[in-house]
Amino acid sequence: MPFDPDKVLAEMTLEEKSSLTAGLDLWRTVPLPRLGVPSLVLSDGPAGARGATVDHESVTPSVCIPCGSALGATWDRDLVKKASAVVARQAKDKGADVLLAPTLNLHRHPLWGRSFEAFSEDPLLAAELGVAYVRGVQGEGLAATAKHLVANEVEHERLTCSSEVDERTLRELYLLPFEHAVRRGGVRCVMTSYNRLNGRHASDRSELLEGLLRREWGFEGLVMSDWWALCDTVASGRAGLDLEMPGPARSFGSALAEAVKDGRVAEEDLDAKVRRLLQLIEALGRGGDLGPAGMPAAPGEEEAKPAEGGARLEASPAAEGPAGEHPVDRAEDRAFLRRAAADSLVLLANDGVLPLDAASLSRVALLGPRAEHPGVMGGGSAKVRLHYRQSLADELSRRLGTGVEVTLEPAADRAGIDRAVAAARAADVAVLVVGTDEQVESEGYDRDSMDLPGLQDELVERVAAEARRSVVVVASGAPVTMGWAGRVDALLQSFFGGQEAPGAIVDVLLGDSEPGGRLPTTLPRRLEHSPAFASFYGGASRVHYGEGLLVGYRWYEARRLPVAFPFGHGLSYTSFEIGEPKVSPGRLPRGGRLRVEVPVENTGGRRGAEVVQCYVAPPTGGRAVPGFAYRPPKELRAFEKVWLEPGETAVVVLELTERAFATFEPEDKDWPSLSARLREPYPGTRAGAHRARAGWYVEPGRYELCVGRSSVDIAHRVAVEVEGGHEPLDPGAPLA
């Protein structure tokens, strides 16, 4: 019989209803076999489906896709959708129904321990790729979970600290990816953050969960807590939190039933929580599909396939996991993820040494502590147990063949550096692989420095000074200091590229693959230049987002600070010409949209990718002007990645809605009383805009569309008139 949430809810007792508001255990919800209500299985993400864990380690192996910042570096919606579908299929192998991904927080500060999980410093790039990730997961029949709502960008005291953020900054930056995931992605679950927001936990804030998420954005899915987050029986019960995880219950469950009995929480609120869980079960097609004791029925077993290709080490056996976990190592996933990792590699600098000409090489020195196994993933809930581990050294030796000698020198205590320098002197080219790993970048703690760990900076400096040619590969999830960048011949940024990262690095070094990545976050020259340098850690359990709107490239441009490499930057093995944009109509009316057509030509000799980026500069030019809300100098508002053959031309089409020109302006609650008291304007003063209601407002005027290949490399600027108006946009106005 069809699973009817309303009918099932009507037959429940108060105790049964309340039991569904908290987990059964670490990864499952409570089943009610008598009513055909199954236990849903949840699994960590976003780099892979962890499934059941013991001591925070995956019980069975899993596919490992590029991390969030690596996916961000692809600037490729379709690739991200396919990558998340890979994770979703592995989650299904492990009997999961809900994937706890994507991470939609922003790169506010380079030292944030979970920076590698998030896509970008820019809210639009994070939003676009977040929507793609959600669609990939849910296209496979699972529920995705947008996390962590909201302003969760520090690990220090993460259960108790309060992120102090003004309303406009919240709306324009930190809430924007969640808005897109809900309104455009149709995400089925949202996870609240550990931290407090302006003094109160997100799980206690009805204006956030019921007001913004459900009423304004139209979210109809399930809201769950982060694991062991601090929830309050009454406040969270009234605010709209549906599910406390993990189990057994602490604040919900029987405690919530007692709160309903004595009138502290309305039974209608409890019913709404249960109905949303039942509707999720129905949407996943799981109602009535019960195995023993209400647990999910085990999926059909599929024979695992051995890893293919050369130089694979430490192949994980098919572990005996809990019932229902049968992860499969798929050849098609390996092939796709190798291409995805290559597409995430960012060529930061190249003095003609890359790609390497294998025919001209007789000896290569492969150096550095990551030369054998570069970091492929971060730590914490994003860490998975790999099906196998690839060796970069073996991959390079195999590809170069027996005619080229590859000398491996990890150069870990100081004597190793001396050996590395000697090897570099004797080689045609020195390839240094440096960076971090899951021990350095992880959930639960933040980095204490932006410098490379250990003696890696000294290694690069000395080798660069002695080698005939030097190539540095930085394998890290977040920015590191690169004071030596101008002294090496080529520089590649490899974010944690997942299980196929070593092979992809070799592909790019030898020119079999294009370095398809562009920076999703600014690489600063020094930590002290970063926007939140003075406010990353707070006092009195508070973290003040004092930089406001000026996050990432917005800050560096507004403050005219030099950077190591700008947001959106990335070189290619070919060359491109971005032609003059054609904009229609010439004036953006209320309720309209602009169409921007940009011709792009591959003027080089090989196939490659270009990312066309469109930034909007406000009429005020990024200056503080009396009477106007401050705007950053320019902000990313559209982008598109295009692959072209040599000599091929394509027209990239970008569309901009009114939201691309809007700012969020809070209600000025003080102005009515102040204006009444003022009576007459003081001579010589000019009153600014005082909004009677909060909303997205479009200031009329002449804006500039800045089209180029990075936040600083702008090929064309086109002026457009925007009609705007004094009324806010409709909350349901198109986002894109």
How many other C-beta atoms are found inside a 10 Å radius of the C-beta of residue 585? 12
Q: How far apart are CA 602 and CA 270, in angstroms?
A: 59
Three-state DSSP string of 702-727: EEEEEEECCCCCEEEEEEEEECCCCC
Closest CA to 559 of 518, 519, 528, 520: 528
Q: How far apart are CA 297 and CA 280, in angstroms?
A: 17
Q: How far apart are CA 462 and CA 434, in angstroms?
A: 14
Which residue has 């790609």 as its token pair?
355
Closest CA to 126 of 144, 110, 111, 147: 147
Please tell me the number of Cα atoms within 13 Å of 716 on its side-chain side.
18
CA distances from 210 to 67, 200, 238 (A): 32, 15, 9
Measured in whole angstroms, the distance separating CA 547 from the mean position of its chain's CA atoms is: 21
Q: In which element (H, E) is residue 563 found?
A: strand 563-565
495 φψ region: left (φ > 0), alpha (ψ -120 to 50), beta (else): beta
Could you tell me which residues are beta bridge partners of residue 445? 442
Structure-token pair, residue 20? 């569904």
Structure-token pair, residue 402? 């027996």
Q: How far apart are CA 577 and CA 579, in angstroms?
A: 6
Amino acid letter for position 238? R
Residue 573's SS3 state is coil
Which residue has 């020119």 as its token pair?
511
CA distances from 592 to 252, 660, 698, 722, 734 (A): 46, 11, 12, 10, 10
**Helix residue ranges per DSSP H, 409-500:** 415-426, 456-466
Q: How far apart are CA 142 and CA 134, in angstroms?
A: 10
Helix axes 501-509, 331-344, angle to 10 degrees: 50
Helix axes 392-400, 501-509, angle to 10 degrees: 40
Q: How far apart are CA 100 and CA 208, in angstroms?
A: 20
Closest CA to 634 of 569, 539, 734, 712: 712
| Max CA distance (Å), the chain | 88
Q: How far apart are CA 406 and CA 552, in angstroms?
A: 40
Peptide bond into 246 cis (omega under 30): yes
Amino acid letter for position 691? R
Q: How far apart are CA 724 and CA 698, in angstroms?
A: 5
Q: Taking CA 294 as the corner, what is the angle to CA 292 and CA 297, rounded to the nearest 5 degrees? A: 60
Structure-token pair, residue 52? 């059941």
Peptide bond into 248 cis (omega under 30): yes
Please tell me the number of Cα atoms within 13 Å of 208 on its side-chain side.
27
Catalytic residue among 226, 333, 394, 446: 226
Structural contact between residues 96 and 59, judged by C-beta atoms closer than 8 angstroms: no
Closest CA to 380 of 143, 684, 117: 117
Structural contact between residues 368 and 505, judged by C-beta atoms closer than 8 angstroms: no
How many other C-beta atoms are found inside a 10 Å radius of the C-beta of residue 404? 18
226 is catalytic: yes
* Catalytically active residues, by annotation: 226
